[in-house]
């Protein structure tokens, strides 16, 4: 197939780019490894921590919804990748509104908070259909929402990332942050599942 590259070909091309950046003095192997390690170290546990804190701390929840980039700093998290910070917003599910994320152009996604994106998130089928028929797509994921629930689709981009703040599950009033965090899934943070 024309334009198709094997994983090994892509790895070689990525390494060549890394070497050019290193030769230009813009980074080092250690810095690259550190960035990758930092991005993948706690995710999607990082997103789950953010949600759990928002569920138990209404003041934090308010700050998170008002300025998510700023609120992340309270948990020693950031949407920075080197000198650049991506605009980050958290959208809250309510009993009448359900949010779902997509990147219609490619697969932009907050890896540092949600972990590596699922393969279906990158698929053309998901990217096209969730915008046109979100209720049907969510049903295929097993999420049946009442007809009166409004579904809002948020399109991420290279400059802007989003995360869903799911509804707190009923019967969890006595749970602390660690136990609540364990309930949060990557799909819940994308909006394709309830928590």
3-state DSSP helix/strand/coil percent for the chain, to nearest 5? 50, 15, 40
| C-alpha dist (Å) from residue 36 to 4, 24, 180, 188, 190 | 25, 20, 27, 24, 22
d(CA 20, CA 14): 10
d(CA 3, CA 161): 29
Q: Is 41 a residue of the active site?
A: no
d(CA 127, CA 138): 13
Residue 195: closest CA among 172, 170, 166: 166
* Angle in degrees, 0-180, between the axes of helices 45-56 and 58-66, rounded to the nearest 10: 120
Which one of 78, 107, 117, 160 is the catalytic residue?
Answer: 107
Q: Is 108 a residue of the active site?
A: yes
d(CA 186, CA 184): 7
Q: Is 8 a residue of the active site?
A: no
Looking at the annotation, which residues are catalytic? 103, 106-108
């Amino acid at each position: 197939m024309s334009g198709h590259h094997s994983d090994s070909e892509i790895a070689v091309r990525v390494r060549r780019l890394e070497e050019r950046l290193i030769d230009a003095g813009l980074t080092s192997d250690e810095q690259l490894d550190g960035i990758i390690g930092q991005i993948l170290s706690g995710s999607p546990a990082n997103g789950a921590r953010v949600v759990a804190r928002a569920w138990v701390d209404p003041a934090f929840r308010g700050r998170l919804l008002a300025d998510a980039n700023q609120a992340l700093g309270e948990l020693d998290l950031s949407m920075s990748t080197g000198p650049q910070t991506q605009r980050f917003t958290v959208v809250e599910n309510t009993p009448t509104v359900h949010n779902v994320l997509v990147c219609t152009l490619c697969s932009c996604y907050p890896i540092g908070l949600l972990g590596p994106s699922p393969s279906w998130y990158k698929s053309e089928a998901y990217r096209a259909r969730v915008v046109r028929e979100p209720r049907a797509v969510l049903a295929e994921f097993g999420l049946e929402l009442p007809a009166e629930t409004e579904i809002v689709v948020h399109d991420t981009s290279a400059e802007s990332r989003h995360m869903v703040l799911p509804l707190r599950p009923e019967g969890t009033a006595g749970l602390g942050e660690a136990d609540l965090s364990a309930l949060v899934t990557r799909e819940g943070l994308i909006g394709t599942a309830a928590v």
